[in-house]
Amino acid sequence: MASLDYAHRRLVNALGPERVARGELERMVYSHDFASLPKAALLQWQLYPDFVVLPQTTEEVAAVVRLSDETGLPITPRGSGTGTAGGSVPNRGGVLVDLRKMNRVLAFDADDRKVTVEAGATWEAVAAHLATRGFVLPVEPVSAPSSTIGGGISNGAVGFGAYRRGSLRDMVLDLEVVLPDGRVVHTASPGEAGRAFADLTPLFFGAEGTLGIVTKATLRVDPKPEEARAAAYAFPDDASATSFVVGIVDAGVAVHHATFLDRDHFVFERALTADTPDPAPIVLASLRGPKDEVLEQEKTLDGLAGPRKGTKLAADVAARQWARRFTVYGARRLSRGLVVSANLVPTGRLGEAVAEARGLIERLRLNGAVQASLLSPTTASLAPYVLMDETVPSGGTALGFVKKMGDAAIEMGGHPMGLGLLLVFNLERMHGRAARSLGAVKEVFDPGRKINGGKTVELWTKFTVPILNSVPPSVMGFGLELAAFLRRIKPTKDRFVAAYERERGA
């Protein structure tokens, strides 16, 4: 491997000095994503990159990738670092490629209803661009204000609108990708608008940056709907609320979106923002489409809520909650960290999944809340979160929750979302025999393991000597089991909830 000073000179030659950083502070900032990793993780991985680079063009990305052959430094692509499994942090240092300077909207075609953007643009910025032209993104992740188009595609993101418009994967018409050998390819033919034939696009969706670096994406867009409104219903308990959500599916109502948020979510929210609805299990629905259809849908929802003792919240309250839909993890401000466990579960088992998440929060004596959203008639997302204090050594034990919740999702016929560094032990349980084929695909695209090597399909440590260079994924799983065990010993149950209720004299 070349010396770091040599690598620095070569990177500066390619990008200029202002877009290559190697200072302690920059390296530290990029040493974690939204998953709060305990300091002990540094014993296992070199989470700090040696260099952070900020390319502005596809050619610069390709130059950085090719340089890796010369310097031997591994590459970690990164959007906004909002992923929750450690995917966008290095495991062996190297060059971290922050794509956020590649954030332009390159082309918009109203007739063909598509937009071409650079991978580092945020979903929110693209949506704002489209709004001025009377168009919307069919699907957007909750992290839209900060997460990038390339990060969302690479992480297999799900989001608002999926229930009505289909998965985000179906929105992606074509990608420009820099492959690990430095070649630039398009994943689909520009002429194949109907997408009836095989193309390479789905390979990169959810590949977590292991097969190449996405530099541009062409996405399907929708005209702005004639009517868009929100409706919200409070329920006496979780079971009635989740039965209402499943009832939406059974009644065949094509809502734009429906999210269940439990009582504790609103307890946290209320502590932060006064004009929050009274804490209760609440279902927030978004309805979009022709005016008559939307009004009809709202009537059907009212009819479904009644027998389940649901109370409709005022229209302005529903509208306000919908406007706040991108800030569902605000409770992080109450603690000093927050851990999200993102999972997919069968829609028919939503009630059970929510009860399991709630039970787990109680059993591990954590403070947390449960959220779940409809993604399709068969699949719902289940994304409970727990509060933690990442400044204290015991804080990291909250990660045990992610392990246990993922196990429960798999048992229910679903699975966790994202493998990254933290959750690689789920690969075989999620994909069975196909796990080996996924490893083979990595081998074809990236035999030298240059880009995100040792993640997702295998688990490397920071060491390069044989035996110490990798961890059997099951050992990682065991470590998180241990964290869950320790969690029970040091309870923080009701710390924030109790403080809130004491304040109100409840």
Ligand X SMILES: Cc1cc2nc3c(=O)[nH]c(=O)nc-3n(C[C@H](O)[C@H](O)[C@H](O)COP(=O)(O)OP(=O)(O)OC[C@H]3O[C@@H](n4cnc5c(N)ncnc54)[C@H](O)[C@@H]3O)c2cc1C
Minimum distance from CB of 296 to ligand X (Å)?
Answer: 28
- Is residue 326 exposed (0-12), middle (13-18) or buried (19+ Cβ within 10 Å)? middle
Non-local (6+) Cβ contacts of 479 within 8 A are: none
- Is residue 206 a contact residue for ligand X (CB under 6 A)? no
In this chain, which stretch among 19-27, 42-50, 207-215, 404-412 interacts with ligand X, using CB under 6 A?
A: 207-215
In this chain, which stretch among 71-79, 295-303, 316-324, 460-468 interacts with ligand X, using CB under 6 A?
A: 71-79
- Is residue 87 a contact residue for ligand X (CB under 6 A)? yes
Non-local (6+) Cβ contacts of 436 within 8 A are: none
Task: Give, for 184, the enclosing helix (H) or strand (E).
Answer: strand 184-186
- Is residue 208 a contact residue for ligand X (CB under 6 A)? yes
Toward ligand X, which CB reaches closer, 212 or 310? 212
Which token pair is 470?
A: 């990798």
Toward ligand X, which CB reaches closer, 65 or 471? 65
Give the x-and-dash track for 389-428 against ligand X (CB under 6 A).
-------------------------------x--------
Collapsing DSSP to helix, strand or coil, 254 comes out as coil
> Which one-letter amino acid corresponds to residue 98?
D
Minimum distance from CB of 152 to ligand X (Å)?
Answer: 3
100 alpha-carbon distance from chain centroid: 17
- Is residue 265 a contact residue for ligand X (CB under 6 A)? no
Start-end of H helices in 251-389: 263-272, 291-305, 315-323, 350-363
Toward ligand X, which CB reaches closer, 33 or 446? 33
Of residues 34-63, which lie at the interface with ligand X (CB under 6 A)?
A: 34
Which token pair is 491?
A: 């309870």
> Among 49, 83, 368, 416, which residue interacts with ligand X (rule: CB under 6 A)?
83
> Among 20, 73, 171, 213, which residue interacts with ligand X (rule: CB under 6 A)?
213
- Is residue 88 a contact residue for ligand X (CB under 6 A)? yes
Toward ligand X, which CB reaches closer, 235 or 329? 329
Task: For 402, list phi and psi in degrees, rounded to 5.
Answer: -65, -40
Give the x-and-dash track for 118-157 against ligand X (CB under 6 A).
-x---------------------xxx---xx-xxx-xx-x
> How big is the site for ligand X, counted in residues (CB under 6 A)?
36
What is d(CA 203, CA 175) in angstroms, rounded to the nearest whole number?
11
What is d(CA 284, CA 11) in angstroms, rounded to the nearest whole number?
48
Minimum distance from CB of 261 to ligand X (Å)?
Answer: 14
- Is residue 84 a contact residue for ligand X (CB under 6 A)? yes
**β-bridge pairing 51-53 and 95-98:** parallel
Strand stretches in 204-342, DSSP E? 213-220, 222-223, 227-234, 257-261, 282-289, 311-312, 338-340
Task: For 448, list phi and psi in degrees, rounded to 5.
Answer: -85, 0
- Is residue 161 a contact residue for ligand X (CB under 6 A)? no
Minimum distance from CB of 427 to ligand X (Å)?
Answer: 14
- Is residue 380 a contact residue for ligand X (CB under 6 A)? no
Of residues 425-454, which lie at the interface with ligand X (CB under 6 A)?
A: 452
Unique residue bearing structure tokens 């090597």: 453
Give the x-and-dash track for 165-204 against ligand X (CB under 6 A).
----------------------------------------
> Among 10, 33, 91, 343, which residue interacts with ligand X (rule: CB under 6 A)?
33
User: Whose CA is closest to 76, among 102, 104, 53, 42?
Assistant: 53
What is d(CA 271, CA 387) in angstroms, rounded to the nearest whole number?
14
Toward ligand X, which CB reaches closer, 183 or 291? 183
Collapsing DSSP to helix, strand or coil, 213 comes out as strand
Task: For 106, list phi and psi in degrees, rounded to 5.
Answer: -95, -35
Minimum distance from CB of 377 to ligand X (Å)?
Answer: 19
What is d(CA 357, CA 237) in angstroms, rounded to the nearest whole number?
15
Minimum distance from CB of 100 to ligand X (Å)?
Answer: 8
Binding region for ligand X (CB under 6 A): 33-34, 76-84, 87-88, 99, 119, 141-143, 147-148, 150-152, 154-155, 157-159, 208-209, 213-214, 329, 342, 420, 452
